[in-house]
Amino acid sequence: MASASQVSWEGAVRWLLAQPEHAQLVRDCYYDQPLTEAAERFIASEEWQATCELLPKARGRALDLGAGRGVSAFALARAGFRVTALEPDASDLVGCGAIAHLAEHVPGRIEAVRGRAEALPFADGSFDLVFCRQALHHARDLRTFCREAARVLSPGGRFIAVREHVISRAGDLHRFREEHPLHRLYGGESAYRSSQYLNALRDAGLRVVRVLRSFDSPINYAPLTGSRICGEIEHRLRRTPVAAAVVRRVSAGASGRRALLRLASLADRRPGRLHSFVCTK
């Protein structure tokens, strides 16, 4: 297998696309073709529907940081924002080329810009929304990333980072990277403790208004469903029938299921679990 230094992110994704056993993972990550169908499926997903509840009601200018192949930028544009999609990769598969293709389907709503979040080529206060999906944990410098995001955000604007990898202690990072399907190929995965994210956001001048932990929202646990997660909890308690029966009864209703998922979030210590952060300026 090629070393991380020999494979680009595009090369890692192309490898994944060539593995039949990973076909479902490819769809879950929206790497499948045609791109427009993947982007439409993202818009219809539970994850995006839950994300829409966090977006500001005024549909102004949005910056999508680390936009990848553009599914989030496309969803934001379809939601009414004028979107600047910042992405360091030029690739037609996973970078600015892919974003430009999606932009053709929402004329005048998406502009693709090559660059990195640590040095944003935009004026102070340029955007009403700064959004990133699975991008903040890729920061080369977390504090600089957050300072730049805050700088280009307008007063009263909103910063939203979703599906960011979290670890409980520094030693968990190695385990997370070992278990990630692509890190061994391109070497670009990372994760931070929740406190590191929060400190970086606050030090940048942002006010953290909401933190969603791993099972608090489909934003983090999609493509799984809440019912499936509760079913897995019940299955793991099968050796204690009384506890399993309580879980089954509690999770039968929507409010009970939400409460059970919140408890599961508190207990979750998996390296690389996903958290989301909502901030204002």
Residue 267 has pLDDT above 70, yes or no: yes
pLDDT of residue 1: 38
pLDDT tens digits, one per residue of 85-98 = 999 999 999 999 99
Cis peptide before 223 (omega within 30 of 0): yes
What is the average pLDDT across 2-17?
80
pLDDT of residue 242: 87
- What's the DSSP call for residue 237? T
| Bridge partners, 258 (sequence order) | none
Q: Is the pLDDT of residue 7 over 90?
A: no
Across residues 71-80, what is the average pLDDT?
Answer: 98
Question: Can you tell me the mean pLDDT for 106-124?
Answer: 97
**Mean residue pLDDT across the chain:** 95
Domains of the chain: 4-217+269-280 (3.40.50.150), 219-267 (no CATH)
CA distance 230 to 112: 40
The whole-model pTM stands at 0.94
Burial level of 149, CB count in 10 A (0-12/13-18/19+)? buried
The DSSP H or E segment spanning 37 is helix 35-44
Per-residue pLDDT tens over the stretch 175-228: 999 999 999 999 989 999 999 999 999 999 999 999 999 999 999 999 999 999
Q: Provide the pLDDT for residue 276.
A: 98
Looking at the chain, the whole-number percentage of residues with pLDDT higher than 90 is 93
Q: Give every CB contact of residue 44 below 8 A, 6+ residues apart in sequence.
A: none
Asked whether residue 120 carries a pLDDT value surpassing 50, the answer given is: yes
Q: How far is CA 149 from the centre of its chain?
A: 16
Q: What is 153-204 written as a DSSP string?
A: EEEEEEEEEEEEEEESSTTHHHHHHHHSTTHHHH-----EEHHHHHHHHHHT
Does residue 101 surpass a pLDDT of 90? yes
* Of the listed ranges 128-132, 156-160, 211-215, 256-260, the one predicted with least confidence: 256-260
**pLDDT score for 244:** 86
What are the tens digits of pLDDT across the range 10-35? 999 999 999 999 999 999 999 999 99
Decide if pLDDT at 61 tops 90: yes
User: Confidence class of residue 231 from pLDDT cuts 50, 70 and 90?
Assistant: very high
Q: What is the mean pLDDT of residues 248-267?
A: 93
